Amino acid sequence: MNNIGLIIAREYLTRVKKRSFIIMTLLTPLLIGAMFFFIGWSATREADTQTILVIDESEFFVDVFESDNEAIFIFADTNLDDAKTNVQNGDFDGLLYIPSLDINTPEGVTYYAPNNPSISMVRKLAKKIEREIENIKLTKSGIEKEVLDNLKADVSIATINLTEGGGEKETNSFGATGIGWASGFIIYMFIFVYGAMCMRGVVEEKTSRIIEVIIASVKPFQLMLGKVLGIASVGLTQFVLWIILGIGISTAVGTFMGGDAKSMAEVQQQQMEQMDIPVSEEEVAKQEAQNAVFSDITNALSSVNIPLVIVSFLFYFLAGYLLYGALFAAIGSAVDSDADAQQFMFPVTIPLILAMVSLNGVINDPNGSLAFWMSMIPFTSPVIMMMRVPFGVPIWELVLSMVLMIGGFVFTIWVASRIYRIGILMHGTKVNYKVLAKWFMQKN
Amino acid sequence: MELLRVENISKNYSGHQALNDVSLSIPKGSIFGLLGPNGAGKTTLIRIITKIIEQDSGKAFLNDSEITPELVRKIGYLPEERGLYKKMKVGEQLLYIARLKGLSRADAVSKIKEWLKRLELTPWHSKNIEDLSKGMAQKVQFIATVLHKPDLIILDEPFSGFDPVNANLIKDEILRLRDQGATVIFSTHRMESVEELCDHIALINKSEKILDGKKIDIKNEFKDSTFIITHEGSLPPSTDFEFISSSITETGLTESIVKDRTEGGPNNLVKSLIEKVEIHSFVEKIPSVNEIFIRQVQGETVVL
């Protein structure tokens, strides 16, 4: 056992002391942050402002086309051909031509542009015209505009869990989905990155032939287990550092931004009071809406059993890695180079990829039979169970899944060690599945 | 007194017989040459002794107790295929290997310091292995093998990759370790080093041991009354000897190799020769290990 300790220490220290480890540990949260920022930014980003020339011969829509960030509308009285030349000269990005139309059969509206306009732009224009025609029709049939405005309604549905004790608990599917998806994805990434690291480590030992020096004083099983566990602790260290970094950064940013925002608001209010300007209703409503969003997020988090999620995450994080890491180590022992490993890596990773692919199905029905079975099979349960835990899983299912998971990695470590002990000393053998099976059966 | 005894070891690799009923006895304090052509089963035998693989049948004893994984720590094994962690520093690497062999940290550190100094590697203590020349890496590997003062040192082709200066350095270290009480097994096909260092040899061919014993005994056994005569003039044919070859030496004399055909020993041959030529020297030709090796291995091949 002492030897396993030494091996774990070596595997751990050589990796943690590497400059690349430190850099990646610091950089990854920044990269992920940047990625989310980019996604958010690109989703909400407005297209470049376009200048659109409008010829409205019907004269129904004079007030409809208000310029905004996306488009500036300019009404023109010129004839169509002149306007077309203007657009072709590049003076305008597009030309909307509305002929004098019959309200009941609105036809002949045309959009001219030097290149294909975006769908959203065309849809927006069509909607504006449609809505105005609707309004005109409704007004014609005697309904007042005020009545029209009052017709609109906004409904959101609150979801409540009926708990076993008879109590009610407000749930938030959005929060649960987010947490489940993120933790499932992180486990998936972790298994891939660290499993590959494990495999490369074994290949390195094999190709550099250090294995014969080491193996004379250590059992192959100890060496394999030491490597797998050593790398697991590297992963755990990295993860803990990320959590600390994350908490650190978010508190730092939170106090800075939060404090700032608060003082800003106070200052503003003070100024307004001093200047005796009443705060506009609109602004108050805006602030309230913002507050509502924040309370939604806090709600989302509070409806999920966070400690349970963290405990399960750490468990599946480790157990999933041990299960796959052992198999990756066995692959590494069987091949002579990283390149040869590809053909064996693919079948091993299929269950994992399958789990990622079926995540959508699981999100739609987190307690259905697909979700249940995939969270019991040890090869897929780390990802799938982590998706389910935030939604609330019966405790017996969680326990059963964990027990199966432990059984799963003990089994794969056993299988892997039988292949490893032979493979690590074999050089230049052409390895296929038959050979692997033979090694597995070989008695020593 | 024997240090290592191997009894009737056989090993089969899925249909291929790697070792067939091999028995050996290696005396304490000897330098033992384990010889054999490629693929004869030398490495398999060593791997069985060091418990890397398990034999199908037979037993191996160190100091009269059967070898267990614990006892393997008393063996230092330098594999033919050398390897070290390329990205690890010399000192750290030696410390790791020494600790795996059961040395305490303090003990290991002081021994590493001593050995690095002895092999002139001290300035390289904190360099990565990948920054070392091949010869230096080999020296580090040698240190890793002997650092824990093993009773039995097994060296598989120890001189490959060394320049003559470093090869001599290592040779001296091997002799010094022997003098301090270690027993050394050499596995090699470099016969000049065997001739120079070994006092016992064993020959393995086609998974069987075909020869073993003291080097001198084996040489005597393989003497076939061949003599080297330096003489003036040319040697006329005679029934007393079989002429094998002759050449002119630097001093203008002729050196002839002949096989004694007379009855009753070298004196009779000398008598017969004195009558024919002027003799300057008369020496019995002792077969070299190399000759014995080739004769044995090729003899086997011819039989098959």
Distance from CA of A409 to the nearest CA of B (A): 26
Residue A197 at interface with chain B, using a CB cutoff of 8 Å: no
Q: What is the pLDDT of residues A84-142, one digit of tens each?
A: 888 888 778 888 888 887 777 778 888 888 877 778 788 888 888 888 888 888 888 87
Closest CA to B62 of B44, B48, B52: B48
Residue A399 in contact with residue A216, Cβ under 8 Å?
A: no
Residue B70 at interface with chain A, using a CB cutoff of 8 Å: no
Mean pLDDT of A230-251: 84
pLDDT at B183 over 50: yes
Could you tell me the CA-to-CA distances from A173 to A160, A297, A432 in Å, in that order?
Answer: 10, 11, 46
pLDDT at B173 over 80: yes
Q: How does the average pLDDT of chain B come out, rounded? A: 86
Task: Enumerate long-range contacts of A89-96, CB under 8 Å, 24 or more apart.
Answer: A90/A114, A92/A51, A92/A52, A92/A53, A93/A50, A93/A51, A93/A52, A94/A50, A94/A52, A94/A53, A94/A121, A95/A52, A95/A53, A95/A54, A95/A55, A96/A52, A96/A53, A96/A54, A96/A55, A96/A65, A96/A125
Distance from CA of B163 to the nearest CA of A (A): 22
The per-residue pLDDT for A293 is: 55
Alpha-carbon gap, residue A206 to A337, rounded angstroms: 9
pLDDT at A298 over 70: no
Residue in B14, B77, B84 closest to A216 by CB: B77
Alpha-carbon gap, residue B32 to B3, rounded angstroms: 11
Alpha-helical (H) ranges within A90-163 are 119-140, 145-151
Could you tell me the CA-to-CA distances from A304 to A147, A172, A239, B169, B267 in Å, in that order?
Answer: 42, 8, 21, 70, 107
CB contact under 8 A, B72 and A444: no
The per-residue pLDDT for A300 is: 57
The residue among B11, B51, B100, B132 with the most chain A CBs within 10 A of its CB, best to mutate, is B100
Read off the pLDDT band of A231 (50, 70, 90).
very high
Q: What is the pLDDT of residues A157-206, one digit of tens each?
A: 766 666 555 555 555 667 778 888 888 888 898 888 899 899 998 988 88
Q: What is the pLDDT of residues A316-345, one digit of tens each?
A: 989 999 999 999 999 998 888 878 888 888
The per-residue pLDDT for B302 is: 44
pLDDT at A260 over 70: no
Name residue B46's amino acid: I
In chain A, residues with a C-beta closer than 8 Å to the C-beta of B84 are 208, 210, 213
The residue among A2, A202, A208, A210 with the most chain B CBs within 10 A of its CB, best to mutate, is A210
Residue in A14, A438, A444 closest to B53 by CB: A444
Domains along chain A with CATH numbers: 50-143 (3.40.190.10), 187-259+303-441 (no CATH)
Query: How many CB atoms sit inside 10 A of residue A1's CB?
Result: 5
The per-residue pLDDT for A229 is: 92
Residue count of chain B, please give it.
Answer: 304
Q: Which residues contact A208 (CB under 8 A, 6 or more apart)?
A: B83, B84, B85, B86
Closest CA to B19 of A171, B5, B49: B49
Residue A360 in contact with residue A383, Cβ under 8 Å?
A: no
ipTM score assigned to the predicted complex: 0.73
A366 by DSSP, 3-state: which?
coil
Residue A291 at interface with chain B, using a CB cutoff of 8 Å: no
Q: Which of residues 75-104 of B touch A (CB under 8 A)?
A: 75, 77-79, 81-88, 96-97, 99-102
CB contact under 8 A, A213 and B96: no
CB contact under 8 A, B97 and A217: yes
